[in-house]
Structure 1
Amino acid sequence: MSMPSSSPRPKSQHPLTDLIISILIPSIIMMKLSGEEYLGSDGALILALAFPLGWGILELIRYRSFNWIALLGLVSTLLTGGIGLLRLDTQWLAVKEATVPCLLGVAVLVSTRTRYPLVRTLLYSPQILNIDKIQTHLEQRGVQAVFEQRLLRATYWLSSTFFFSATMNYILAKWLVTSPSGSEAFNAELGQMTLLSYPMIAIPCTLMMLGILYYLWRTIHGLTGLSLEEILAHPPQK
């Protein structure tokens, strides 16, 4: 599952490449090369997991910054491989698929009680919005408290997207992956689950995120009078 970065990094110039390497290629490998006449179930699983794992490590090295969400994705990939290679009960796959986004949802809620709420990292961040200009106008109009209340509401909605993802991940894993782990059928079902997770989970979650961003823009525009162009962050001029 693709997740927002928690540290500044350039926006991906090739989102299609991310999709192909992280989802399409691993799915095809597990569905088509798991037979004993090809790589076998273990070989296909290891090769399939090597693509998102290697890509994630490359991304971490490329941007030279700690990215805890990317790290969480790498751990999730390793757990998936461990379940297959160790022949664990498939129930653990469903639990794992639900646990990762659920932990993110809980983290978003808990962070509201800290000095660093995650909504400011994931949505209300300098990489997306012109924070300095927005804060200046909020203070000038004396509506800082009103904005903080609405930002808290957006935080609750943000956490709900992760809980939605956790629920759908669990349902999809229980529905599709029913064969014993480590088998050829298990790999094929895992590949199907990976493919279907994009239209059934990633796209709805992305739309929910866009809805929250739209709510933030409407809130900021209504409280400050700034236009969309003034609200959005602009890359530094070379």
Structure 2
Amino acid sequence: MNEALRDTPQHKPRPMVDLLVSIVIPSVILMKLSGEAHFGPHQALVLALAFPLGWGLFELIRYRKYNFIAVLGVISVFLTGGIGLLELDPQWLAIKEATVPGVIGLAVLFSTRTRYPLIRTLLYNEKVLNVHRVDERLQERGLREVFEQRLLKATYFLAGTFFFSSIMNYLVAKWIVVSPAGTEAFNAELGRMTLVSYPMIAIPSMIMMMAILFYLWRTIHGLTGLKMEEIMAVNPADKR
């Protein structure tokens, strides 16, 4: 069993590669190569979406990250391609852009009623925090119920970040993408929307996510007395 675990590559965040493959390259293709002198609107759209789609599938298969959000990301790329290739009204793109983070936000809220709240998958997990040690200390001090209440509060904050993304995605898409799907102008606007979305939506959402993580750390520190290095997850390589 240990050998099987070792054979599975450990996922390491590569933000620059993610940025290049999912945003920069597709945007350049859409804005610069959609003319009839190059690939044309349909072919350029397929090529542009092939990068984030291929990268998403690669991560899902290689690192076995078959989680709800990763799968939803792949579905999102398929929907964007469908809207462009079927030449649907651009308003469907705005609806799709709002729906994906909106669904995640609703799933986060719904998960609080299940045994597996999504905040544990996204933030309160062994890859981010030393969950075993934290749980042990909470049990010793009899503060488990208090912590669960704080964790529920953090869950509401987390859902709020996705609802923020949903609203901003819709507004940005309606503002930028106004040309008929299947045209060179539509592709160029889709490329601009992708570039604009990163600083306007992704970065603020990331900051909010970091604020939630800080809230969790402060809560854990206050309830358990553990220091930062005791709370954060330990890299297996550091134990050697």
TM-score, with length taken from structure 2:
0.93
CA distance in 2, matches of 1:196, 1:36: 25
CA distance in 1, matches of 2:82, 2:34: 16
Aligned ranges 1:84-233 → 2 under 5 Å: 84-233=84-233
CA distance in 2, matches of 1:111, 1:61: 25
CA contact under 8 A between 2:161 and 2:208: conserved in structure 1?
A: yes
* Structure 1 equivalent of residue 42 of structure 2: 42
Matched length: 231
CA distance in 1, matches of 2:68, 2:153: 24
The code of the aligned residue for 1:134 comes to: V
CA distance in 1, matches of 2:12, 2:21: 13
What's the CA shift string for 1:8-49, capped at 9, x where partnerless?
Answer: 974435320111000000000000001111110001101000
The code of the aligned residue for 1:146 comes to: V
CA shift at 1:68, angstroms? 2.5
Aligned ranges 1:74-85 → 2 under 5 Å: 74-85=74-85
CA distance in 1, matches of 2:13, 2:224: 32
Gap regions ≥5 residues in structure 1? 1-7
Residues 65 and 18 of structure 1, relative CA distance in 2, 3 Å threshold = closer
CA distance in 1, matches of 2:117, 2:14: 29
CA contact under 8 A between 2:59 and 2:65: conserved in structure 1?
A: no
CA contact under 8 A between 2:21 and 2:51: conserved in structure 1?
A: yes
Residues 97 and 82 of structure 1, relative CA distance in 2, 3 Å threshold = same
Gap regions ≥5 residues in structure 2? 1-7
Identity %: 64
TM-score, with length taken from structure 1:
0.94
Aligned ranges 1:52-67 → 2 under 5 Å: 52-67=52-67
CA contact under 8 A between 2:9 and 2:62: conserved in structure 1?
A: no
* Structure 1 equivalent of residue 3 of structure 2: none
